Amino acid sequence: MNADKKFIIAITGFTKSGKTTAANYLKKAGFYVLDVDKFAHTLYSKNSFLYKKLIKYFGKNILKKNAAIDRKKLFLYAFKSHKIYKNFCSIIYPVLNKELWEKIKSLKHNVIILDMAVLFETGFYKKADFIVLVLVSKNKWLKRINTYPNNKQIKIVFKYQHIFKPLKKIALSNFIIYNNKSKKEFIKQTGKLSNKIKEILWMKSPRNRMIG
């Protein structure tokens, strides 16, 4: 594999689908994992480009007393309607995509795993070399999230983000993990994913291509 070329593996799925569990498993297996949700939060810092764009659109009502963005207030404003949410995404996604790409290029790792819920919605899937989609049935998903204290917010996010058709996501993915059974079965599938990634990386190695 060319040392200059980053190999990007993106794991995606709805909130609480199990994508982060899968990403953490791969992290324990020795892969570098970038939590895109946490990374995105750094872009809201005071006086940043995104900070100014959000204030321009939503006003200073989304700020705390110390002038930092209050993400709870931002959530309430951003999810008031589909139109507002669409405008919110048009502000957020271009900045996220640009900064995420710069972050990836700056990393010393050649193999990078992204834990990214909005991979398809942002269009960043086009940058990924290998896409992993974690799927769970709606009934199973509802049963799981009902145990979380913020399940109302999770349901709202699901409703608003459910715009990129599931069948299209499946068609664009290279590996699918179905998280409808036991945790043991889920870990088993993730283990297969880990082996698949190692196999791909082995095949991409220039030395191994020469052997072949």
Buried b (16+ CB within 10 A) or exposed e, 168-199: ebeeebebebebeeeeeebeebbeebbeebee
Nearest-angstrom CA–CA distance, 113 and 176: 15
Query: What is the fold of 7-211?
Result: Rossmann fold (3.40.50)
How confident is the model at residue 162, as a pLDDT? 67
How confident is the model at residue 207, as a pLDDT? 55
Residues of the chain with pLDDT under 50: 1-3, 209-212
How confident is the model at residue 211, as a pLDDT? 38
How confident is the model at residue 131, as a pLDDT? 97
How confident is the model at residue 3, as a pLDDT? 39
Nearest-angstrom CA–CA distance, 62 and 60: 5
How confident is the model at residue 150, as a pLDDT? 77
How confident is the model at residue 45, as a pLDDT? 93
How confident is the model at residue 147, as a pLDDT? 82
pLDDT tens per residue, range 63-112: 999 999 999 999 999 999 989 999 999 999 999 999 999 999 999 999 99
Tokens encoding 76: 């309430």
How confident is the model at residue 177, as a pLDDT? 95
pTM for the whole structure: 0.88
Q: Beta partners for 132?
A: 11, 175
**Domain ranges within the chain, ordered by starting residue:** 7-211
Tokens encoding 10: 């993106």
